[in-house]
Amino acid sequence: MRIAVPDLISNSYFPAVAAVELGFFKAEGLDAELELIFPVPKTMEELREGKLDFVAGAAHATLQAFPNWKGAKLLASLAQNTYWMLVLRSDLNAKLGDVSAVKGLKIGAAPGPDSTIRQLIKEAGIDLEKDGVEVGPVPGSTGAGVSFGVNAAQALEDGIIDGFWANAMGSEVAVRKGLGTVILDARRGICPPPSVRYTFPALVTTDANIEKDPEMVRAAVRAIVNVQKALKEDPSRATAVGEQLFPAMEAGMIAGLIERDLPFYDPAISEDAVKGMNAFAKDIGLLTEDVTYDQVVATQFSGIWTD
């Protein structure tokens, strides 16, 4: 069984990574192989092409390979809410929650997540073109084994960008080095209100996989639910995963980041979450027709969320 993530050295998709490394997929009878495929649109394309069994990625990005939710389903939430942070150079002295601080700046964002920061800026009444806001990829983030967030922190240090929109790992690296300041934290509502519901990290598979092997899919969902419970009970278990996969600095940080995110570790996908995500997807032209909750979520497995 092949499962892919678009960013490995991060907290964003960590339950899926931990489910592989700590043996939770194995406990469900699944021989899981973890792969890094960046960026998330490419990850979803490989899922569509049948090269992967599952993707742990941004829920809304599924639409980039499966238009109007045809051919894929969300199985479980890895954590709740839009999960990126905006970090700006420390010397700008920007204040927490001040979206207008982005005016005239160059902001690094990965393909996929870039649509969320652009929409967030628009929600705040800022015109990207008139106000001179440049949002784009960070040089050097496409190499194998590279974490976008960690690479973005390095680009900030090198003066290549003025800020970045990335996971909490990249943000924490920048903050600890004194390079950047967190201005927005969408997961915790420090952002324009609609942006909290733009997306969330989710486990995704194809309709074909569900039809072909529903027991494999059921087992994968159980593995995610169980690893979330295990991390809630003992966040320090994250360190063992970090020591296997991350550089030393990030390995030492991961348990603290996971502990901070524990209130958001809930596998349930609510109708409100889907409604907010689809409204965002319509606003940016990624979704072009009305869809029901059942067209987005594989509800036949939802009972596992609370087992």
Q: For 71, left (φ over 0), alpha (ψ -120 to 50), or beta?
A: left
Confidence at residue 1, expressed as pLDDT on a 0 to 100 scale:
96
Whether 99 and 76 have beta carbons less than 8 Å apart is answered as no
Separation CA 293–CA 278 (nearest Å): 10
Segment 5-27 shows an average pLDDT of 95
Beta bridge partners of 129: none
Please, what CATH class does the domain formed by 85-196 belong to? Answer: alpha beta
pLDDT above 90 (res 35): yes
pLDDT above 70 (res 289): yes
The alpha-carbon radius of gyration of the chain (Å, integer) is: 18
Burial class, 305, CB count within 10 angstroms (exposed 0-12 / middle 13-18 / buried 19+): middle
Q: For the domain with range 2-81+199-306, which CATH number is right: 3.40.50.800, 3.40.190.10, 3.30.70.270, 1.10.645.10?
A: 3.40.190.10
Burial class, 76, CB count within 10 angstroms (exposed 0-12 / middle 13-18 / buried 19+): buried
Share of the chain above pLDDT 90, in %: 93
Segment 93-101 shows an average pLDDT of 97
Q: Convert the pLDDT of each residue in 124-145 to its tens digit.
A: 999 999 999 999 999 877 664 5
Q: For 68, left (φ over 0), alpha (ψ -120 to 50), or beta?
A: left
Segment 155-175 shows an average pLDDT of 94
Q: Where are the domains of the chain?
A: 2-81+199-306, 85-196
Mean pLDDT of the chain: 95
Segment 229-248 shows an average pLDDT of 96
What separation, in Å, do the N-terminal and C-terminal C-alpha atoms of the chain show? 24
Cis peptide before 194 (omega within 30 of 0): no
pTM equals: 0.95
Confidence at residue 133, expressed as pLDDT on a 0 to 100 scale:
98
Separation CA 268–CA 222 (nearest Å): 12
Segment 36-56 shows an average pLDDT of 96
Confidence at residue 148, expressed as pLDDT on a 0 to 100 scale:
82
Beta bridge partners of 181: 88
Please tell me if the domain spanning 2-81+199-306 has the same topology as the one spanning 85-196. yes
Q: Convert the pLDDT of each residue in 249-277 to its tens digit.
A: 999 999 999 999 999 999 999 999 999 99
